[in-house]
């Protein structure tokens, strides 16, 4: 460590605090960590202190930091053509769309590119409304769909409440057996009762007024809530029965996060619209999009689609998508995510649940897991926010970055994580939870 390195960390920090306004934060209390570089599953500051990244930053870095194929593709595209208007035909854009639709179900052959996941959901809602001639959008209370006008109102969590400016949004409860809203005591009961609840909402709101049901295939920030068997297929049946468009939000769950290209592929369901972002290129350049069924795409063959973005299908973003998806295929990264979840993360977290009373439940698949923390297992009382803050600080001090939400530790490393790295991170989590438990 040199004085210059320490000074650079301080300079970076001081610049941030003087000039950067951060999202979802009270600005005065912020103490952001400095990150200078990264590789694979590791990041470091200017002084060289390393951290194991089990947050994937915003649960988007599926391919890991600084994958050489992706950074090289961005550099090559920048040297050839850095930007171009969305109304042109561009090779990188066409190849990116081709790669994405090749992974989608049959009958989904078009992609509308956006700048991220929020405006992907925004435009999917717009498409559903125009296609059906209806207005209402149904989504769950335990959800996050982004921070733009309609997307944040479709969101179910607290971030919706200061931002409720969009029209015609209705919320309902999705399945969550650990904290069931339906007094269920089995996955089968939870599924049956959650579907009945949804259909009654549809009936009471008036099916003729409902354009879309918008669901995260696996709710992410809300708790990595794996849908019980039959639930997504049941939602599809309800949507079909009433002529409603089914939008599945794969922004966080897609492109390897669950050990599949799309999370819904494990649930015998085909949506009408798929929204994506994050893992499609691991966030190397901002991008998102909507994969559109042929039926909805044909709605706009002779009718203008009233939506667009200056940076839709940006060449740098599209080049990064092509490189990321090609590398993920060539290196078996999605298959690795499935196996590391099954053979390393799942067993390690199950041991935590057996050994540490603070752990109420663990759940997940692939590299998409949550540890739900409680002060009382019988009552399932959530661990308070101040305790969660202590846990995050203690893990960071041990060199492990985690994604925390409410009373949960989300274990969401890049898809390329190794078994040794899983062992290191889960050992740190174990030590911190034991320390917290003994200190309560």
Domains, the chain, with CATH or none: 33-66+332-439 (3.90.1150.10), 68-330 (3.40.640.10)
Per-residue confidence at 3, pLDDT binned at 50, 70, 90? low
The Cα-based distances of 229 to 191, 219, 274, 374 in angstroms read 7, 15, 20, 26
Given a cut of 90, is residue 169 above it in pLDDT? yes
Given a cut of 80, is residue 332 above it in pLDDT? yes
Give the residue among 259, 260, 179, 168 at the shortest CA–CA distance from 214: 168
Q: What is the pLDDT of residue 438?
A: 82
Mean pLDDT confidence for 344-362? 97
Mean pLDDT confidence for 151-171? 94
Mean pLDDT confidence for 196-216? 98
CA 109 to chain CA centroid, Å, is 23
Given a cut of 90, is residue 2 above it in pLDDT? no
Per-residue confidence at 308, pLDDT binned at 50, 70, 90? very high
Q: What is the DSSP letter of 33?
A: P
b (16+ CB within 10 A) / e for 318-343: bbbbbbbbebbeeeebbebbbebbee
Mean pLDDT confidence for 397-409? 97
Hey, CA dihedral for 351, 188, 195, 289, is it positive or negative?
A: positive
Q: What is the DSSP letter of 214?
A: E
Return the structure tokens found at 440: 């309560």
Question: In sequence order, which residues have a C-beta less than 8 Å from that of residue 235 and are 6 or more positions away?
Answer: 195, 198, 213, 215, 246, 269
How many helices, marked H, and strands, marked E, lie in the chain?
Answer: 14, 15
Given a cut of 60, is residue 1 above it in pLDDT? no
Please give the Cα distance from 295 to 299 (Å, whole number).
7
Given a cut of 90, is residue 4 above it in pLDDT? no
- Give tens-digit pLDDT for 66-105: 999 999 999 999 999 999 999 999 999 999 999 999 999 9
Given a cut of 60, is residue 411 above it in pLDDT? yes
Mean pLDDT confidence for 241-262? 98
The Cα-based distances of 281 to 69, 218, 226, 248 in angstroms read 11, 19, 24, 19
Q: What is the pLDDT of residue 439?
A: 76
Burial of 25: CB neighbours in 10 Å, binned 0-12, 13-18, 19+: exposed
Q: What is the mean pLDDT of the chain?
A: 97
Give the residue among 172, 173, 169 at the shortest CA–CA distance from 183: 173
- Give tens-digit pLDDT for 184-201: 999 999 999 999 999 999
Mean pLDDT confidence for 219-230? 98
Q: Could you tell me if 70 and 284 are in contact, meaning their C-beta atoms sit under 8 angstroms apart?
A: yes
Q: What is the pLDDT of residue 235?
A: 98
High-pLDDT (> 70) share of the chain, %: 99
Given a cut of 90, is residue 440 above it in pLDDT? no
Q: What is the pLDDT of residue 437?
A: 86
Per-residue confidence at 327, pLDDT binned at 50, 70, 90? very high
Q: What is the pLDDT of residue 10?
A: 95
Return the structure tokens found at 34: 């400095």
pTM score over 0.85: yes
Please give the Cα distance from 92 to 95 (Å, whole number).
5
Burial of 106: CB neighbours in 10 Å, binned 0-12, 13-18, 19+: exposed
The Cα-based distances of 86 to 114, 276, 311 in angstroms read 10, 19, 7
Residue ranges of the alpha helices (H) in 21-80? 56-59, 68-80
Mean pLDDT confidence for 197-208? 98
């Amino acid at each position: 460590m040199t004085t210059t390195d320490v000074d650079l960390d301080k300079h970076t920090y001081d610049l941030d605090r003087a000039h950067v306004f951060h999202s979802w934060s009270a600005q005065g209390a912020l103490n952001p960590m400095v990150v200078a570089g990264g590789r694979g599953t590791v990041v470091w500051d200017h002084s060289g202190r390393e951290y194991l990244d089990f947050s994937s930053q915003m649960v988007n870095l599926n391919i890991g930091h600084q994958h050489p194929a992706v950074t090289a593709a961005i550099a090559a595209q920048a040297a050839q053509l850095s930007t171009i208007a969305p109304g042109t035909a561009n090779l990188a854009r066409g190849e990116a769309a081709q790669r994405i639709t090749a992974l989608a179900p049959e009958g989904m052959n078009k992609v509308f590119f956006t700048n991220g996941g929020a405006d992907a959901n925004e435009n999917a809602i717009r498409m559903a409304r125009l296609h059906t001639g209806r207005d209402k959008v149904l989504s769950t209370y335990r959800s996050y769909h982004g921070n733009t006008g309609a997307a944040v109102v479709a969101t179910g969590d607290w971030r919706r409440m200061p931002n409720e400016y969009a029209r015609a949004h209705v919320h309902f409860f999705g399945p969550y057996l650990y904290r069931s809203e339906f007094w269920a005591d089995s996955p089968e009961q939870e599924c049956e009762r959650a579907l009945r609840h949804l259909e009654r909402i549809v009936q009471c709101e008036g099916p003729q007024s409902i354009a879309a049901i918008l669901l995260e295939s696996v709710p992410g920030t809300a708790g990595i809530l794996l849908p019980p068997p039959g639930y997504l297929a049941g939602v599809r049946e309800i949507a079909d029965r009433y002529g409603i468009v089914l939008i599945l939000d794969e922004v966080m769950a897609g492109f390897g996060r669950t050990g599949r290209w799309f999370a819904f592929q494990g649930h015998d369901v085909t949506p009408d619209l798929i929204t994506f972002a994050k893992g499609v290129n691991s966030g190397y350049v901002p991008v998102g999009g909507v994969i559109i069924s042929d039926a909805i795409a044909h709605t706009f063959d002779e009718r203008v689609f009233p939506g667009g973005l200056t940076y839709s299908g940006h060449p740098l973003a599209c080049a990064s998508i092509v490189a990321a998806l090609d590398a993920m295929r060539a290196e078996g990264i999605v298959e690795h995510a499935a196996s590391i979840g099954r053979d390393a993360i799942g067993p390690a977290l199950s041991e935590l649940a057996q050994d540490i009373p603070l752990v109420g439940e663990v759940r997940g698949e692939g590299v998409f897991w949550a540890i739900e923390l409680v002060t009382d297992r019988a009552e399932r009382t959530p661990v308070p926010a101040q305790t969660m803050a202590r846990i995050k600080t203690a893990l960071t001090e041990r060199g492990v970055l985690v994604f925390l939400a409410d009373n949960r530790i989300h274990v969401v490393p890049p898809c390329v994580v190794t078994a040794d790295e899983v062992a290191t991170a889960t050992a740190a989590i174990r030590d911190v939870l034991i320390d917290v438990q003994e200190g309560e």
